[in-house]
Amino acid sequence: MIGSLRILPRTALTVALLFVPLSTASAQDVQDTFREGVDLLSRGQKEAALTAFQRVLALDPSHEDAYALWQTTDHEVWLDMLVMEGEFELVAKRMMDLARMGRKERSDDADAIRELLSQLGSDDVLERTKVVRQLAAEHGEYAVPRMLFALGDASDADRRVIFMQALTKMGSDVVPPTLEGLNSDDPYMRRNVALTLGYIGDPRANGALAKHASMDDDEGVRNACSEALARTGGSTDALGQLLALGDAYQRQDDSVLAPYQVSDVVWNWDGQEVVATPVPRFLYAEEMAKKAYYNALEVAPGSTEALAGIARASMAQRVKLNEREALGEDLGDWGERLAGDELAVQLAGTQALELALGWSLDQGDQTAAIGLCRALGASSSRASSALERAVSSMGGAVRGEAAVALGHIASRSGSGASAQVVQALSESVAREVVRIGAVIDPEDARRNALVEALSSQGVLVNAWPTGGRGLASLRAIPGIDVLLVSATLPDLTADQVLDEFQSDPRFAETPVFVISGDEETAALYEDRASGAIASAADIEAVGEALAGNMNRDREEANRLAADSAHALAALAASGADISAAARGLVSTIAGRGDEIVVPALAALARVGGAADVAPILAVVTDGSRSDEARLAAAKALSGIFARTASAESSTVEGLEAVVQDASAPFEIRASASNALGRLSLDADTRMRLMNAARTSSASE
């Protein structure tokens, strides 16, 4: 439904669009189509105007072009679109988000910033306002370090007031660097920073303000922070607010991290000034979460919640970084930087790690959960309820990682592993490819049918009814093989979902299908999607796209299978009963890599039976297999024969051939001899084998 619209004069609308800067033919198309939509609005042709605006989004305008439209279009046009219902409101919000992201693409140009700051002293209020807007639009947060010094300058009260006023008008992205001013050694600066933050009124500052209101050494600063809190409506509970802030950043909640608030830098006080540290955008949320949690730790050094927050953010970053590195991205020294965080995580203690994992499971944060399972597997001395919950309630990679962790804990402690853990490890070791799909569709029946159809093809499916819930969850999932998204959503446009999803390098090559039964609507996205489907009956096209997009999944499945095989081998060595995993272990040895096959054979040496002999013998006798695999297979047969003491004559013959093969490494021949020696052989056969072995060695 399209709501009411206040019609603006056509002349005002036309003039507003005259000076949009153009850079490309695409920009011209964006401007012309947008102008067409505004003109149709002025005529009261709302349905046609909506179609024009949808075409603008389908043209995939750049952030720069969207920002140009925002700057040069009468504000009342945007206001009227926002107050309308349905698709009009969604389209307007999407255009404004693109514009804000264009506004975010600003420079740290010291000379340009310095020149603009020098103009803030003008007596002309309108001129000062223009300068502030230019500072915000072109430089934003990068201007803050060069403005904070004035807040500590007691000799120039007029300049201090002007700069404080300018900061309050420059938008929300000045808050993170301004907050760092609270760490200055100068109480005068801290006081004025606090007052400025109070006037800005951004709730992200409340935790830090509450911290200094109670803990700052200077009474004037404490009073200023209390005054600022009164303005913002923040509470005096510093710990609670900082913990909530960290959680909101970790969840990438819009209350603290709308799309245009994601930055390329994080700000820190280096003892003298605020400095920027470049950060990959995909790590920004966790970096900000860690800042909040470390602040909370200063307020309450014994806070398990703060320690858990640090652990969760750090482990999520490590998993994300590993994923990007596997995709070939050059991430500079971030691997070394995060190594320090990993050390800190181990120091946080098992209780904090378990709490962090519980949070991750509650919120469906699979990325953090995977990292935390690994951390607990390396450090914990006992099985935790959080790990057991992950094995029982989660699927895919999280279930496998939790099982690996519990397997290693059980083997170290000698406590044995549950049947559920052994089953999960068996599933992981046998699984060659884990394929994960996502469906975002508000129509319950269609969404459920699509989930069922994908599941029938062996795909693990995540599904959500709204774009916002889908995007939030996708940020916490380490990999997606295919996305199905409805062309019509209740909260976002399909364009917005596609833009955010496809801007993530992890998903840049992921097939996307638009769900729509209307050919004209589906055609709007033909350049941005792999195809369109109307219902579950069209799922065959999705399967074809999945078949060509599995390399990364295979790598991850192999890594998890190898870890699971090692965990099963360790459990078997500790005396645990892993017999239920034998079938899964045997299934790996014919065609998987040595990183999986060798530990799988080590486990089979302890739990394999007569039914497993033939496939293991095939490895021993295959000269094309690696020496490591053949040796492990021979040792596996030794273990089996120690329990069964019997074998088919073909097995004896096969091993005898290996013993007599002068070209085979001696260690493999020796292990084959050991396996034969464990069988209950008749005297004549044993003597024959011994003589043959001596003869083959003598002839070398």
CATH number at residue 445: 3.40.50.2300
What pLDDT digit, counting tens, does each position of 85-104 carry? 678 878 877 887 777 666 55
Region 196-212: what's the mean pLDDT? 96
CB 512 within 8 A of CB 427: no
Buried b (16+ CB within 10 A) or exposed e, 106-132: bebeeebbeebbeebeeeeeeebeebb
Here the tokens at position 160 are 């201090």
Is 312 in a helix, a strand, or coil? helix
Query: In whole angstroms, what is the distance from residue 373 CA to residue 408 CA?
Result: 11
Query: How many other CB atoms sit within 10 Å of the CB of residue 271?
Result: 9
Whole-number pLDDT of residue 133: 82
Q: Are residues 541 and 440 in the same domain?
A: yes
Highest mean pLDDT (candidates 249-258, 398-407, 473-482): 398-407
Residue 519 lies in a domain: yes
Q: Which tops the pLDDT comparison, 9 or 424?
A: 424
Could you give the percent of the chain with pLDDT greater than 70?
Answer: 91
Residue 13's pLDDT band (cuts 50, 70, 90)? very low
What pLDDT is attached to residue 11?
35
Q: Is the pLDDT of residue 550 over 70?
A: no
For residues 599 and 616, what is the distance between their CA atoms, to the nearest angstrom? 13
Looking at the fold, whether 447 and 543 belong to one and the same domain comes out as yes
- Count the residues in the chain: 700
- Identify the weakest region by mean pLDDT among 229-243, 392-406, 563-577: 392-406
For residue 4, what pLDDT band results from cuts at 50, 70 and 90? very low
Domain end position, chosen among 69, 104, 139:
104
Q: What is the mean pLDDT of residues 642-655?
A: 92
Asked, for residue 621, whether it belongs to a domain, the answer is yes
Shared domain for 456 and 542, answered yes or no, is yes
Please report, for residues 51, 79, 346, the alpha-carbon distance to residue 55 in angstroms, rounded to integers and kept in the order given.
Answer: 6, 20, 52
Cα gap 669→661, rounded to integer Å: 8
Domain end marker among 89, 104, 119: 104
Count other Cβ atoms within 10 Å, centred on residue 603: 28
Total structural domains within the chain:
3
Question: What is the model's pLDDT at position 35?
Answer: 87
Pick the last residue of a domain from 104, 126, 157.
Answer: 104
Same domain, yes or no: 615 and 688: yes
Per-residue confidence (pLDDT) for residue 355, from 0 to 100: 97
Asked if the structure places residue 615 within a domain, the reply is yes
**DSSP-derived secondary structure for 391-441:** HHH--HHHHHHHHHHHHHHHHHHT----HHHHHHHHHHHH-S--EEEEEE-
Confidence of residue 3 (pLDDT cuts 50, 70, 90): very low
Contacts of 42 (CB under 8 A, 6+ apart): 7, 8, 9, 10, 13
Q: How many CB atoms lie within 10 A of CB 82?
A: 12
pLDDT for 555: 74
- Residue 16: pLDDT above 50? no
How confident is the model over 581-595, as a mean pLDDT? 90
Bigger pLDDT: 591 or 252? 252
Arithmetic mean of pLDDT, 80-84: 71
Residue with more model confidence, 328 or 33: 33
Return the pLDDT at 558.
Answer: 84
* Pairwise CA distance, residues 184 & 190, whole Å: 6
* pLDDT attached to residue 517: 86
The strand pair at 435-440 and 512-515 is best described as unpaired
Please give the residue range of the domain that contains residue 649.
608-698
Mean pLDDT, the chain, as a whole number?
86
**What Rg do the C-alpha atoms of the chain give, in angstroms?**
32
pLDDT-derived band at 84, boundaries 50, 70, 90: confident
**300 contact partners, CB below 8 Å, separation of at least 6:** 239, 306
Asked if residue 180 is part of any domain, the answer here is no
Distance CA 696, CA 544 (A): 55
Q: Is residue 651 in some structural domain?
A: yes
| pLDDT at residue 379 tops 60 | yes
Predicted pLDDT of residue 324: 84
pTM as predicted: 0.72
Residue 486 confidence class, pLDDT cut points 50, 70, 90: very high
- Residue with the bigger pLDDT between 246 and 325: it is 246
234 torsion bin: left (phi>0), alpha (psi -120 to 50), beta (else) = beta
Q: What is the mean pLDDT of residues 273-286?
A: 93
pLDDT at 258 over 90: no
- Whether residues 612 and 545 share a domain: the answer is no
User: Residue 396 pLDDT more than 70?
Assistant: yes
**Within a domain: 677:** yes
pLDDT-based confidence at 75, cuts 50/70/90? low
pLDDT at residue 142, rounded to an integer: 93
Q: Alpha carbon of 375 to those of 370, 381, 570, 648: distances in Å?
A: 9, 12, 18, 46
Residue 195 is predicted with a pLDDT of 97
Dihedral sign for Cα 338, 339, 345, 347, please. negative
Q: In this structure, is residue 490 part of a structural domain? A: yes
Structural domain includes residue 670: yes
Write the Ramachandran bin of 458: left for phi over 0, alpha for psi from -120 to 50, otherwise beta. Answer: left
Give SS3 for 365. Answer: coil
Place of tokens 């603006």: 8
Residues with Cβ within 8 Å of 189's Cβ and at least 6 positions away in sequence, in order, are 148, 151, 152, 181
